[in-house]
A and B are shown apart, each in its own frame.
Chain A
Amino acid sequence: SQQGEEDPQALSIQEGENATMNCSYKTSINNLQWYRQNSGRGLVHLILIRSNEREKHSGRLRVTLDTSKKSSSLLITASRAADTASYFCATDGSNFGNEKLTFGTGTRLTIIP
């Protein structure tokens, strides 16, 4: 079964608007990561947030984590056409190392120029 569920499954917004995607998970985690995947390509690591962190920023990305609700959100500000991709959250129970990741169902984001 999927550890992570993401919503929305698909999101279309105008270029320049902000995009928010949510991820919920079921078991305890040590880290939660967000990845981007362009169609038919591999994964690009975006950001990692540890279980003792509540918010993290990287450029136009802002990630929050609420361990009490077992949920995370990814905010992309000032969206660009190049942000069109699928976005996945992934959780692991290790201290960020070589332990398996469990991926969410993903959000397909489309930025309309």
Chain B
Amino acid sequence: GAVVSQHPSRVICKSGTSVKIECRSLDFQATTMFWYRQFPKQSLMLMATSNEGSKATYEQGVEKDKFLINHASLTLSTLTVTSAHPEDSSFYICSASHDQGEQFFGPGTRLTVL
């Protein structure tokens, strides 16, 4: 099956700093990428959908100026958490899909904001 990677797998940062998380589709071209957030022992909540070359579509309640998403190529999308606060600590998971098929999920990035 298709492989999606995320980098970094874990990140710890100080409050007020910005953190960038990368999501890459390694062996296919992803026309659409999704970003999810998962709090401990909870389900995945979709944050935004991004299509290559266009602006991301954010779900209700997700601040687009705080969670910057860039999908500059067919194999890379980035999520930048700006001015991170402890309440942003979470597990962030991306998924990628192409026109034909299913979503393939990355392994996730655990963000801890001190």
What's the Cα separation between A42 and B34 when bound, in Å? 14
Q: Is the CB of B44 within 8 A of A98?
A: no
CB distance from B45 to the nearest CB of A (A): 8
Checking A2, A44, A101, A102 against B103 with a beta-carbon cut-off of 8 angstroms, the contacting residue is: A101
Which A residue's beta carbon lies closest to that of B45?
A103
- Contacts of A1-44 to chain B: CB distance below 8 A: 2, 4, 33, 35, 40-44
| A48 touching B102, Cβ below 8 Å | yes
Contact A45 B102 (CB under 8 A): yes
Contact of A98 with B98 at beta-carbon distance under 8 Å, contacts A2-B43, A104-B43 already known: yes
Cα(A100)–Cα(B107), bound, Å: 18
A42 touches B49 (CB 8 A): no
What's the minimum C-beta distance from B17 to chain A, rounded to whole angstroms?
Answer: 23
In the bound complex, do residue B97 and residue A98 qualify as a contact, i.e. CB atoms below 8 Å apart?
yes
Taken together as a complex, chains A and B put the C-alpha atoms of A97 and B96 apart, in Å, by 10
Tell me whether B91 and A40 are in contact (CB under 8 A).
yes
B46 at the interface (CB under 8 A from A): yes
- Residue count of chain A within 8 Å CB distance of chain B: 23
In the complex the two chains form, is B43's CB within 8 Å of A106's CB? Answer: yes
Q: Are B101 and A96 in contact (CB under 8 A)?
A: yes
**Complex Cα spacing A49 to B107, Å:** 24
Which A66-113 residues have C-beta < 8 A from chain B? Answer: 88, 96-98, 100-106, 108
Is the Cβ of B102 less than 8 Å from the Cβ of A100? Answer: no
Cα of A109 to Cα of B41 in the assembled complex, Å: 12
B42-85 Cβ-contact flags toward A at 8 Å (1 or 0): 11111001000000000000000000000000000000000000
* Cross-chain pairs A/B with CB under 8 angstroms, 5 sampled: A42-B107, A45-B1, A98-B32, A101-B46, A103-B45
Q: Which residues of B does A touch, CB under 8 Å? A: 1, 6, 31-32, 34, 36, 41-46, 49, 91, 93, 95, 97-108, 110
Sample of 12 further A-B pairs with CB below 8 A, known A98-B32, A101-B46, A108-B41: A42-B105, A44-B105, A45-B104, A88-B43, A97-B97, A97-B100, A100-B46, A100-B49, A101-B34, A103-B44, A105-B43, A106-B43
Q: Which 5 A-B pairs have the closest CB atoms?
A: A98-B32, A42-B107, A43-B105, A98-B97, A103-B44
